[in-house]
Amino acid sequence: MRYIRFLRNGKIGYGLLEGDRIEVLRKNFLDGIEESDEVLGMNDVRLLSPVSPSKALCIGLNYKAHIGELEMETPEKPVVFIKPTSALLSPDEHIVRPALSKRVDYEAELAVVIGRKAKNVKIEDAYSYVLGYTIANDVTARDLQEKGGQWTICKGFDTFMPLGPYISDEVNPEVLDIESRLNGKIMQKSNTGMLIFKIDYLISYLSSVMTLEKGDVILTGTPKGVSAMESGDVIECEIEGLGILRNSVI
């Protein structure tokens, strides 16, 4: 299934996406699937990020080639940080370059959406806690990354977490082509098979620290090819089977 969250007539709605047809749900899909008789088209709604998580857990340095381009060391344990939910941005909304930074980068990432409360999950059970997968852009003020000591500031600005356009449970997350394009030019091109720390391990590890709530997201890290975005640019993150997350920059 493909799950969406949308805005229509000023109200938040939830639906299942069938091609470009929206089957409207009676309530948030995180609380169970209750279909209504209403059907809408994509032009009838404005897509929102498919979830509004209680927290977004992000993995840094999870692709070898990206670690190389940042000239950093491969970590022995996952490098984990949290993006504030105030950074959440819907598809087609604007990424705002903050005055504090002179270099704002895109980072295309596979995002895991948790479907039910998870605590102390075993690796072999981890996938049963997943609702599905979507695309995230872990926008980063690169020039502030080294100065901060840790990454809350450089990755925490408002609009720095585009997420969407939909959640799918129809993909195999271990073998997905991932790509980003800046103004149509391919900048990142890899496959989630290259992840150093795998999804089931990450769910198990993170849930041994903190309770994962339904709707929480895990951003799994970005491949090689990050670079800066300028005002007027359009950044597209695409993952096989998960559509295209497109945002412009102001």
Identified binder of Mg ion from the candidate list 107, 179, 236, 238, rule CB under 5 A: 107
Nearest-CB residue for Mg ion:
138
- In terms of Cβ atoms closer than 10 Å to its own Cβ (0-12, 13-18, 19+), residue 8 is middle
The CA-atom distances, in angstroms, between 94 and each of 11, 69, 231 are: 21, 27, 10
Stretch that binds Mg ion, among 13-21, 80-88, 142-150, 215-223 (CB under 5 A): 215-223
Identified binder of Mg ion from the candidate list 28, 101, 222, 247, rule CB under 5 A: 222
Q: Name which of 241, 21, 7, 15 is nearest 135 in CA terms.
A: 241
**Amino acid type, 222:** T
Contact 21, 4 (CB under 8 A): no
Give the shortest CB-226-to-Mg ion separation in angstroms.
8
Give the shortest CB-204-to-Mg ion separation in angstroms.
20
Answer yes or no whether residue 93 interacts with Mg ion by CB under 5 A: no
User: Which element (helix H / strand E) includes 113?
Assistant: strand 108-114
Q: Name which of 88, 51, 57 is nearest 197 in CA terms.
A: 57
Identified binder of Mg ion from the candidate list 29, 121, 136, 138, rule CB under 5 A: 138
Stretch that binds Mg ion, among 9-17, 41-49, 88-96, 106-114 (CB under 5 A): 106-114
Q: Name which of 72, 58, 66, 45 is nearest 137 in CA terms.
A: 58
Question: Which CB sits closer to Mg ion, 190 or 222?
Answer: 222
Answer yes or no whether residue 105 interacts with Mg ion by CB under 5 A: no
Stretch that binds Mg ion, among 69-77, 105-113, 129-137, 208-216 (CB under 5 A): 105-113
Question: Which CB sits closer to Mg ion, 180 or 222?
Answer: 222
Interacting residues toward Mg ion by CB under 5 A: 107, 138, 222
